[in-house]
Amino acid sequence: MERERDPFKPPISPAAMAAQTAELERAVADAESAVGPKHPDTLAARGALARCYLFAGRPAEAIALHEKNLAACEELLGPDHADTLQSRNDLAVTYRSAGRAAEAIPLHERNLAIQERLLGPDHPSTLATRANLASAYWAAGRIGPALAAYRQALDGQERVLGPEHPETTATRGDLADAYRADGRIPESIAMHAQNLAIRERQLGPDDPDTLASRHGLGRAFTAAGRLVDAVPLLQQTAADRERVLGAGHPDTLASRNSLAAAYTAAGWFGDAIELHEQAVAGAERVLGAGHPDTLAFRNDLAAACQQAGQTSAAIELCQQVLAAREDLLGPDHPDTLASRNDLAAAYAKAGRLAEAITMHQRNLADLERLLGGDHPATLTSRGNLAAAYGRAGRLPEAIALHEQTLADRERLLGPDHPATLTSCNNLAAAYARAGRLRESIGYYKRALNGRKRVLGNDHPATRATREALTHVRDRRDASLLPWRRRPS
């Protein structure tokens, strides 16, 4: 999702953030002393401090302040007052950012019901709340409701506010990011391109929102395998953000990280790792070693190392991120579970299959308990456990899990969703390992046709499936050669 503009005055640096946070802390203390803990001035100061805490990676402190504000607003002003609605929204957004999306959803839903009753379904505030609810649904893994809510909010904003209103472009950018993550790449590209044209014309090429659109479009190009478009666009965005926002601004670091991911996709592992390391070092310096963004950048560095065959480095980084996320977020947070999955995958690639399988089994059980059997993260975890079984030669278990994952994704996402096609490809590979070549060829054909149709003929995933299909066909043909020979 597009980042909200940060609450700190530029330039962003650890010293500047600390000084501004201390100033806000003094403002809260002074207001509480002068006018009391429930005075509107105190509530405003407390909300500003909470936003700074959240940006600085201190979600627990931000949540405590927003919870105090909401209780005061409901007591003094009632549940339907505009300030109460804003306070409830602030708490919901903070819950979502802290990985507590399940707690954010009912707060957004309550606000939406109140605003629809008091203001009507097409009021700009109602539409903004619907977009925020969509973001909470997305964070909770409720993909269908999230996309529907985003679409409904965007349609309403285009109709009421116009297609070029800032709130409309913000929702369109969020929906474009969701489409990219959901594998609907052409739609993501079209929406980001539309936003970029609007923002360049209205705001100019250097506005932070324009740069956010350029960054989103570059990431969508990377997802589409259009690296010839993605790399120069992301290079330009990283340079422009450094010039406009500063080298240490979180948006600049995010651009550097996204460019590194594009380099990884292109196979330029040396450049990718160097750029990821710069992003990690910058985030550690500006945000701190334990900030969620810093941990995300370090996780991406681990992925690049693994792609480059630097398995030991990848494992060490994954272990660091997992330990930090368990400490910061708890063992059941989605980011913690994702880190455990990444570490298990690194163990599998290193041949440490017993550890990988044990960790994947634990992760799958946790995801099924926390998110349910149909959540996208659960399906990914099941597929990864199947892959580890395959590496360990436990082919019947691997095939059964791959078959289950494919059937579930077909039911939930449809036959042409990129994740469904990945499951189809993985099942084909498992059949090939088991010597079931005819079945393998059938599923590789299906995955290839789908990827050509959805991703394009030159997408890296399409090329990989085409090469795998050729290899399995060669194996089948070789197995038939002795039967074709005739004695002389």
Q: Domain 313-392 belongs to what topology? A: 1.25.40
- Which of the four pLDDT bands, split at 50, 70 and 90, describes residue 487? low
111-147 pLDDT, tens digit per residue, is: 999 999 999 999 999 999 999 999 999 887 788 899 9
Q: What is each CA distance from 356 to 228, 284, 348, in whole angstroms? A: 36, 29, 5
Task: Give the tokens for residue 213.
Answer: 């659109």
Q: Domain 407-483 belongs to what topology? A: 1.25.40
CATH 1.25.40.10 domain range(s) in the chain: 313-392
Residue-wise over 223-250: b if at least 16 C-beta within 10 A, else e? bbbbbebbbebbbbbbebbbebbebbbb
Alpha-helix runs per DSSP H in 140-268: 143-160, 166-181, 185-203, 208-223, 227-245, 250-266
pLDDT of residue 195: 98
Contact between 46 and 28 under an 8 Å Cβ cutoff? The reply is: yes
Q: How far apart are CA 115 and CA 121, in angstroms?
A: 7
pLDDT of residue 329: 78
pLDDT of residue 372: 85
pLDDT of residue 151: 97
Residue 275 CB contacts under 8 Å (≥ 6 apart), including other chains: 256, 257, 259, 260, 263
198-252 pLDDT, tens digit per residue, is: 999 999 999 999 999 999 999 999 988 888 899 999 999 999 999 999 988 889 9
DSSP 6: P
Task: Give the tokens for residue 298.
Answer: 């370090």
Taking the CA of residue 436 as centre, how many other CA atoms within 13 Å lie in the half-sphere pointing to its CB? 14
- Which of the four pLDDT bands, split at 50, 70 and 90, describes residue 2? low
At residue 152, the 3 state secondary structure works out as: helix
Phi-psi region of 154 (alpha: psi -120 to 50; beta: other; left: phi over 0): alpha
Q: How far apart are CA 332 and CA 139, in angstroms?
A: 14
